[in-house]
Amino acid sequence: MNQRKIPGPTRKWLALSLIALAQFMVIMDTSIIGVALPAMSTDLGFTQENLTWVFNAYVVVFGGLLLLGGRLSDLYGARRMFGLGWLILLVGSAIAGFAGNVPVELVGRAVQGVGAALIAPAALTLLMMLFGSSPRELTRALAVYGAAAPAGGTAGVFLGGLLTEYASWPWVFFVNIPIAILALVAAPALLPGGRGAATGGVDLLGAFTATLGIGAAVFGIVRAPEVGWGAAQTWGTLLAAAVLLAGFVVIQARRREPLVRLAIFRTPNLGAANLAQFLLGAAWIPMWFFLNLYLQQVLGYSAFPSGAALIPMTALVMIVMIVLAPRMIARFGPRAMVVAGLVLLAAGLGWLSLVRPDGNFWVDVLPASLVSALGMALAFIPSLGTAISSARPEEGGLASGIVNTSYQLGSALGLAAATAVAATAGAGALGDLGALTDGFSAAFVVAAVIALVGAALAALTLRGSRVPEREPESVAL
């Protein structure tokens, strides 16, 4: 391994701020458009049916390209892919902001998804390069990185409403441009450079089948609530995804230099930690989504008050991740933390399922949301840390791509499942507060069951009691 100079402590933590900013922006770009959708629909001519694709175009491309993004990071260098991702995100934001019709808008969102798919695995790889030699520093760094996600989600709600009301909807995209320029300027000064540790080339056939397979799976899942789970379109898309992903596995098994070395899944704890991340996303994202709907459609909150109602939950997640979780991981180990966190998340979701049509924030929302947030905060960092620490250093980008893909697929599948159950239970009956509440309650129950299943599987499959330690790596700027 090449010997490289480790940056000073101040520069290293400034680098973490840039990495956390990347996570913040990737998540914010999924939530910032929510308040702007009605104005976009009026100006660009979206129908009610295709308006959701302003969100889905980003998510499908992002989820589909994460594995390729991780591999490119390992081959060509994490900092290089991090910078390229920001550049592509900048271009996509400009396209989306200047769009004058529906197709151009969706192209812009898809290009943003390409940029995010390069940024996300590269950011985690850079974090491991900077902090992987010290388990204590790594846990603290992962806590800051993890806390950036809920902060980005809540900030997106506020910022989207503010920009749409006082400027115009294109500014929900233009806001990315100065931040992307800042990241492009700061990255060479703060982040470790050099080529990736992996050797070989890009498995183009594997990349093609993986991207199409994952993209088709996410497409089918997010489309299913709209066209129906029993529709031929849904099953045709999911069948095509299964065939493509099966083909991908066959290709990887036969290639000398595959996109994904299948043996990586035999690494102790890597598969189990990714399963925990998958189920954590499948439980947490539906809770966030339907809690927002309950606040607005049942309690009658507008966009800004509903965003404010999420602040206590978001603040608790950030505080626990940064202050409490690292100490508890050191004392109890990742396995116990993941299991306990998922159990607490299930308890909070079960409590939320008791929401009432004539309820109020202080009784029906705040206490249960805080319990859910505590569970999420306790489970996220140890499962993420275990997933990326278990891989070999030269496969850090691949491991980062896999864990990001696991969480995104879990989020999409969990939200689709909860949406289908909620619709059956009455969530589509706008104006009928009783039916709406029954539908949202059913969604919370689905999410609670997913969290309980996650806790049981984590208890059975996760091994050991500490995040694996690595030999110190030296890195250069």
Whether residue 399 has pLDDT greater than 50: yes
Six-digit token string for 437: 């509440």
- Residue 138: pLDDT band with limits 50, 70, 90: confident
Q: Which residue has the higher pLDDT, 30 or 348?
A: 348
Whether residue 270 has pLDDT greater than 50: yes
- Residue 197: pLDDT band with limits 50, 70, 90: low
For the residues 104-119, what does the mean pLDDT come to? 94
Closest among 51, 201, 190, 219 to 126, alpha carbons compared: 190
Task: Supply the pTM of this predicted model.
Answer: 0.83
Rg (CA), the chain: 21
3-state helix, strand, coil in the chain (%, to 5): 80, 0, 20
Whether residue 272 has pLDDT greater than 50: yes
Whether residue 194 has pLDDT greater than 80: no
- Highest average pLDDT, of 115-129, 306-320, 334-348, 399-413, comes from 334-348
Whether residue 11 has pLDDT greater than 90: no
Q: What pLDDT was estimated at residue 467? A: 45
Q: What pLDDT was estimated at residue 51? A: 67
- Residue 195: pLDDT band with limits 50, 70, 90: low
In Å, how far are 12, 27, 187, 294, 475 from 69, measured between CA atoms?
24, 17, 18, 36, 21
Q: What pLDDT was estimated at residue 27? A: 84
For the residues 148-165, what does the mean pLDDT come to? 80
In Å, how far are 270, 394, 437, 472 from 128, measured between CA atoms?
15, 11, 43, 11
Q: Which residue has the higher pLDDT, 7 or 299?
A: 299
Return the SS3 of 321: helix
Q: Which residue has the higher pLDDT, 166 or 80?
A: 80
For the stretch 426-443, pLDDT in tens is 887 878 899 999 999 999
Q: CA-CA distance, 402 to 275, in Å (whole number)?
A: 11
Q: CA-CA distance, 433 to 145, in Å (whole number)?
A: 38
Whether residue 465 has pLDDT greater than 70: no
Q: What pLDDT was estimated at residue 168? A: 85
Q: What pLDDT was estimated at residue 10? A: 79
Question: What is the chain's mean pLDDT, rounded?
Answer: 85
Six-digit token string for 408: 């995104």
Which range is least confidently modeled, 42-51, 81-90, 211-220?
42-51
Q: CA-CA distance, 264 to 259, in Å (whole number)?
A: 11
Whether residue 376 has pLDDT greater than 90: yes
Q: CA-CA distance, 62 to 405, in Å (whole number)?
A: 9
Q: Which residue has the higher pLDDT, 31 or 279?
A: 279
Whether residue 186 has pLDDT greater than 90: yes
CA trace torsion 208, 211, 216, 219 (10° rounding) = -150
CA dihedral (418, 420, 425, 431) positive or negative: positive
Closest among 139, 148, 138 to 317, alpha carbons compared: 148
For the residues 385-413, what does the mean pLDDT come to? 83
Closest among 275, 286, 232 to 421, alpha carbons compared: 286
Q: What pLDDT was estimated at residue 113? A: 92
- Highest average pLDDT, of 37-51, 191-205, 281-295, comes from 281-295
- Residue 445: pLDDT band with limits 50, 70, 90: very high
- Highest average pLDDT, of 35-49, 73-87, 339-353, 407-421, comes from 339-353
Q: What pLDDT was estimated at residue 216? A: 85
For the residues 103-114, what does the mean pLDDT come to? 94
Ramachandran area for residue 202 (φ above 0: left; ψ -120 to 50: alpha; else beta): beta
**What is the residue-wise DSSP string for 133-196?**
T-HHHHHHHHHHHHHHHHHHHHHHHHHHHHHHHHS-TTHHHHTHHHHHHHHHHHHHHHS--S--
Q: What pLDDT was estimated at residue 50? A: 65
- Residue 279: pLDDT band with limits 50, 70, 90: very high
CATH number of 9-202+259-461: 1.20.1250.20
Q: CA-CA distance, 2 to 474, in Å (whole number)?
A: 8
Q: What pLDDT was estimated at residue 5? A: 47
Domain boundary assignment for the chain: 9-202+259-461, 203-258
Q: Do 172 and 53 form a contact (C-beta atoms < 8 A)?
A: no
Which range is least confidently modeled, 111-125, 198-212, 280-294?
198-212
For the stretch 25-57, pLDDT in tens is 988 887 788 667 777 878 888 765 566 678 778
For the residues 52-76, what does the mean pLDDT come to? 84
- Residue 277: pLDDT band with limits 50, 70, 90: very high
253 burial via Cβ count (<10 Å: 0-12, 13-18, 19+):
exposed
DSSP 320: I
**Residue 373 identity (one-letter amino acid):** A
Q: CA-CA distance, 278 to 265, in Å (whole number)?
A: 15
DSSP 394: G
Six-digit token string for 181: 């320029």
Percent of the chain with pLDDT over 90: 41
Q: Which residue has the higher pLDDT, 368 or 297?
A: 368
